[in-house]
Amino acid sequence: MLSSHFQNGIETAKHVWSPIPGSEESSPCLDDTLGLLNKNDGSGVESLDYEVIENYAYREEQARRGKLYVGYLLVVKWFFALLIGIGTGLAAVFINISVENFAGWKFSLTFDIIQKSYVAGFFVYVLFNLVLVYSSVSIITQFAPAAAGSGIPEIKGYLNGVDVHGILLFRTLIGKIFGSIGSVGSGLALGKEGPLVHTGACIASLLGQGGSTKYHLSSRWLQVFKSDRDRRDLVTCGCAAGVAAAFRAPVGGVLFALEEVTSWWRSQLMWRVFFTSAVVAVVVRTAMGWCKSGKCGHFGSGGFIIWDISGAQEDYSFVELLPMAIIGVIGGLLGALFNQLTLYVSSWRQSHLHKKGNRVKIVEACLVSVITSAISFCLPLLRKCSPCPESDPDSGIECPRRPGMYGNYVNFFCSKDREYNDLATIFFNTQDDAIRNLFSAKTINEYSAQSLLTFLVMFYALAVMTFGTAVPAGQFVPGIMIGSTYGRLVGMFVVKFYRRLNIEEGTYALLGAASFLGGSMRMTVSLCVIMVEITNNLKLLPLLMLVLLISKAVGDAFNEGLYEVQARLRGIPLLESRPKYEMRNMTAKEACGTERVVSFPRVVKVADVVSILRSNKHNGFPVIDHTRTGEPLVIGLVLRSHLLVILQSKVDFQHSPLPSDPQGGAKPIRHDFGEFAKPVSSKGLSIEDIHLSADDLEMYIDLAPFLNPSPYIVPEDMSVTKVYNLFRQLGLRHLFVVPRPPRVLGLITRKDLLIEDTENLNTVELQSTSVRTRHRNRRLMTNNADAERPLLNGILGPDNISSD
């Protein structure tokens, strides 16, 4: 067992830093997080360049920017946060209104028909659901394949530094919206919350790139942010907006983005994410207020997920903590089992079914729809009806409920008017209404243990079977359904055992829902806040914290969280927050491998560049020059995307194999920094797209203006644990591994990084220790002189060769 864990650690480390062909011991080694990996379906996933490439183009652009332009960019970022909130809120409103109306029409028509014939009602019910599922799966398979599933693993990978092709395109957004309407409205065991997170991310990404050029919906005025770093911030806002729109939980959306999806966070981003979530809350609340007047058809207060149980159990005793802890253990066990079963089923689907083409995907989704419809319609027919309890005027609950209205006590296949079918109250209902029924207070005797157990087993199996079909699917609502069912079961036993009037089964249903989500998704803080916001009951916060901590601990003992498992299945190599234990015994040199590094000289022949780019798929190359004594020296890192831009433009070709500036500088650059930006969620340029003549291939390129002269470097004997933390926390794509440097030029402490403003606003001075104060004037003079020198003079000039 121990040897297998150690082997997994080594394989993980080599997978994370898949080496560009290595070098000799005296040469630098370059690590590339991902390079280019192939997914099971043949499409590629590629790393994102979150690091700032400080080449001449970048420095010239920064020099041209004044305070006014910086302020303009800040205003644009906040404006985009506003647009993301409005767009995601409107998309959520549209999806909810559509789903509620389709579900309302379906149940109204079915209830009208079953008054005459239950057989005819069954066929109409199945056909209605089948049409909705067929429309959804057709949109996904024919128009937007990347819109299948929840989308959260892919978005989590994007924010972790991995770009899965197609996940943020305009057609993916359209497919997600309309596909969700069909899949959720059909009553499948899935939800719309995960797709809403993906929808928010797509809206944010499209705004960041100025729209969609393919569908002629782009605007030059919106094309302000062209780097992966800026787009990452926008996508983070979109993820938070999606959660805020799905659950009407703005604070929960912020915490979800922080805890679950993003790998990089800062205080400025926190404010924009919070603002975006607040905008979503305002949009959703305004839409609900407008729909209360009856202008939205069947859409009512059940349209958005909010289960107000503020009138439920007011207090709890110490003896109740034991059954609540048991709920946490059950949630951890069932959640871990759910993750494992969905992994097996999804793996089997990818290996056997989905390889056979889109027709098989369509047939599979339609078959799942028929099975789900048959179970939800036929199982309540096997259950005997129960007489309505004595009505409580204060509860506001009508028994039985009127056909077509949401609420408890459904009269389904009952011989008497004052009877209801408790299994139909959960099965033959929209999921939002079923959850509201399970959470409801003052309904102690509404459900029987047999009905709850039957629903738990069948819906659990349906959720596992539905997960992975070619339709947009979220796992929040199915998880809440499963958890609230066994939570209510435990609540029933607690009520009978303790015989206390203040105990509510609905409270235990809420705790069960939280425990299953914690055991499956392994979220704690964000999930706790979301559950408090959607139930409007702050008194249950300590209990929610208890069951979430227990369920997560139990689930972690068996496997990873649901999103991590699915990301691994989809071939998305996530860098988790903690390195593997075995990495502490490995060095950076061992993680690099043994092959030689593919590097470029400073002045390189065009034919050599083309040959190297065609012979491998690496995305970054070290650039090597030599000092005056002939010693090789790493002067920077050049990206494949930058080389492709240079080859395509041809304006930087030169006839001489000598540097354009012998002193180590560079000629004025002819490119804008935005030209080097890769289009979002697309392949960008490839070497096959570039056509060069024979004369072009004999030309040369001086790479000095285009390389990043300050890449991150670590010594060869640094532990992989430290390298891993550095790599993930800085959002790197490449990292040099070099022999230990021969000398130290200086030492930077915290005080050296604290900047204070003097009376002259044009002078910025670094706070120094008392020992270095006497050298301050000389350092400032040196800095002013160096500002006029070329960027590479410090590397290639004679000062670099002399010893202290």
Residues 6 or more apart whose Cβ sits within 8 Å of residue 291: 97, 299, 300, 303
Taking only Cα atoms into account, the Rg of the chain, rounded to an integer number of angstroms, comes to 30
Average pLDDT over residues 765-780: 44
For all residues of the chain together, what is the average pLDDT?
81
**Of residues 499 and 772, which shows the higher confidence score?**
499
Whether the CB-CB separation of 431 and 481 falls below 8 Å is answered with yes
Residue type, 708: N
- Among residues 488, 533, 495, 551, the alpha carbon closest in space to that of 309 is found at 533
CA distance linking residue 536 with residue 540, whole number of Å: 10
Residues 6 or more apart whose Cβ sits within 8 Å of residue 774: none
Q: What is the DSSP string of 614-673?
A: HH---SEEEEEEE-TT--EEEEEEEEHHHHHHHHHH-TTEES-SS-SSTTS--PPP-S-G
Residue 368 φ/ψ, nearest 5 degrees: -60, -40
The per-residue pLDDT for range 110-165, each reduced to its tens digit, is: 988 998 899 999 999 999 999 999 999 999 999 999 999 999 999 999 998 888 88
Average pLDDT over residues 467-487: 93
Long-range contacts of 769-775 (CB under 8 A, 24+ apart): none
Q: What pLDDT is stored for residue 41 in this prediction? A: 38
Q: What region, left, alpha or beta, does residue 731 occupy, with left being phi > 0 and alpha being psi -120 to 50 degrees?
A: left
Q: Distance of CA 719 to CAs 24, 587, 726, Å?
A: 20, 4, 11
Q: Is the pLDDT of residue 526 over 70?
A: yes
Tell me how far the alpha carbon of residue 490 is from its chain's centroid. 34
CA distance linking residue 169 with residue 206, whole number of Å: 7
Maximal C-alpha separation, the chain: 101
The per-residue pLDDT for range 709-742, each reduced to its tens digit, is: 889 999 988 999 999 998 888 888 888 898 887 7
The structure tokens listed for 66 are 């004044």
Residues 6 or more apart whose Cβ sits within 8 Å of residue 1: none
Residues 6 or more apart whose Cβ sits within 8 Å of residue 722: 714
Residue 556 φ/ψ, nearest 5 degrees: -65, -20
CA distance linking residue 118 with residue 105, whole number of Å: 17
Confidence of residue 759 (pLDDT cuts 50, 70, 90): very low
* Residue 387 preceded by cis peptide, ω within 30: no
Confidence of residue 24 (pLDDT cuts 50, 70, 90): very low
Q: What pLDDT is stored for residue 647 in this prediction? A: 92
**Of residues 670 and 69, which shows the higher confidence score?**
69
User: Which range among 43-52, 412-421, 581-590 shows the weakest confidence by mean pLDDT?
Assistant: 43-52
The per-residue pLDDT for range 687-701, each reduced to its tens digit, is: 888 889 999 999 999
Whether the CB-CB separation of 620 and 639 falls below 8 Å is answered with yes
User: Which range among 463-472, 511-520, 582-591, 771-780 shows the weakest confidence by mean pLDDT?
Assistant: 771-780
Whether the CB-CB separation of 158 and 236 falls below 8 Å is answered with no
Q: Is the pLDDT of residue 5 over 80?
A: no
Q: Is the pLDDT of residue 30 over 80?
A: no
Average pLDDT over residues 476-493: 93
Q: DSSP class of residue 258? A: I
Confidence of residue 682 (pLDDT cuts 50, 70, 90): low
The per-residue pLDDT for range 220-238, each reduced to its tens digit, is: 666 677 778 888 899 999 9
121: part of which helix (H) or strand (E)? helix 118-142
Q: Is the pLDDT of residue 420 over 50?
A: yes
Average pLDDT over residues 250-259: 93
CA distance linking residue 489 with residue 682, whole number of Å: 49
Q: What region, left, alpha or beta, does residue 440 occupy, with left being phi > 0 and alpha being psi -120 to 50 degrees?
A: beta
| CA angle 689–695–701, rounded 5-degree value | 75
Percent of the chain with pLDDT over 90: 39
Q: Strands 700-702, 653-654: parallel, antiparallel or unpaired by DSSP?
A: antiparallel
**Of residues 229 and 509, which shows the higher confidence score?**
509
Q: What pLDDT is stored for residue 39 in this prediction? A: 38
How many Cα atoms occupy the beta-carbon half-sphere of 620 within 13 Å? 28
Q: Is the pLDDT of residue 174 over 80?
A: yes
Q: List the strands of the sheet with 44-47, edge to edge.
A: 36-38, 44-47, 162-164
85-113: b (≥16 Cβ within 10 Å) or e: bbbbbbbbbebbbbbbbbbbebbeebbeb
State the virtual CA torsion across 708, 712, 713, 714 in degrees, nearest 10: -170
Q: What pLDDT is stored for residue 787 in this prediction? A: 43
Q: Distance of CA 668 to CAs 351, 655, 702, Å?
A: 54, 17, 12
Centre a 10 Å sphere on the Cβ of residue 784 and count the other Cβ atoms it contains. Answer: 9
Residues 6 or more apart whose Cβ sits within 8 Å of residue 223: 209, 210
Task: Tell me the three state secondary structure of residue 193.
Answer: helix
User: Which range among 80-89, 194-203, 271-280, 413-422 shows the weakest confidence by mean pLDDT?
Assistant: 413-422
| CA angle 44–47–52, rounded 5-degree value | 150
User: Which range among 258-272, 405-419, 530-544 shows the weakest confidence by mean pLDDT?
Assistant: 405-419
- Residue appearing with tokens 């591994």: 737
Q: Is the pLDDT of residue 796 over 80?
A: no
Length of the chain, please?
A: 804
Percent of the chain with pLDDT over 70: 79
Q: What pLDDT is stored for residue 701 in this prediction? A: 92
CA distance linking residue 733 with residue 425, whole number of Å: 52
Whether the CB-CB separation of 48 and 161 falls below 8 Å is answered with yes
Confidence of residue 383 (pLDDT cuts 50, 70, 90): confident
Average pLDDT over residues 383-406: 71
Q: What pLDDT is stored for residue 277 in this prediction? A: 96
The per-residue pLDDT for range 181-221, each reduced to its tens digit, is: 999 999 999 998 899 999 999 999 988 887 666 665 666 66
CA distance linking residue 157 with residue 159, whole number of Å: 5
How many Cα atoms occupy the beta-carbon half-sphere of 90 within 13 Å? 7
> What angle, rounded to 10 degrees, do the helices at 193-208 and 476-498 form?
140
Confidence of residue 551 (pLDDT cuts 50, 70, 90): very high
Whether the CB-CB separation of 707 and 604 falls below 8 Å is answered with no
The residues with which 738 forms a beta bridge, in sequence order, are 715
CA distance linking residue 39 with residue 541, whole number of Å: 42
Q: What pLDDT is stored for residue 593 in this prediction? A: 67
The per-residue pLDDT for range 616-625, each reduced to its tens digit, is: 888 889 999 8
> What angle, rounded to 10 degrees, do the helices at 193-208 and 67-114 form?
150
Q: Is the pLDDT of residue 281 over 50?
A: yes
Q: What pLDDT is stored for residue 152 in this prediction? A: 94
**Of residues 378 and 264, which shows the higher confidence score?**
378
Average pLDDT over residues 31-38: 39
Whether the CB-CB separation of 93 and 177 falls below 8 Å is answered with no
Q: What pLDDT is stored for residue 770 in this prediction? A: 41
Q: What is the DSSP string of 16-63?
A: HTEESS---TTS-EEEES-SEEE-TTS-EEEE---S---SHHHHHHHH
Q: Is the pLDDT of residue 704 over 60?
A: yes
Q: What pLDDT is stored for residue 16 in this prediction? A: 34
The per-residue pLDDT for range 78-102, each reduced to its tens digit, is: 999 999 999 999 999 999 889 988 9
- Among residues 671, 686, 804, 661, the alpha carbon closest in space to that of 745 is found at 804
Task: Tell me the three state secondary structure of residue 103.
Answer: helix
The per-residue pLDDT for range 329-367, each reduced to its tens digit, is: 999 999 999 999 999 999 999 888 888 889 999 999 999
- Residue appearing with tokens 């005027």: 393
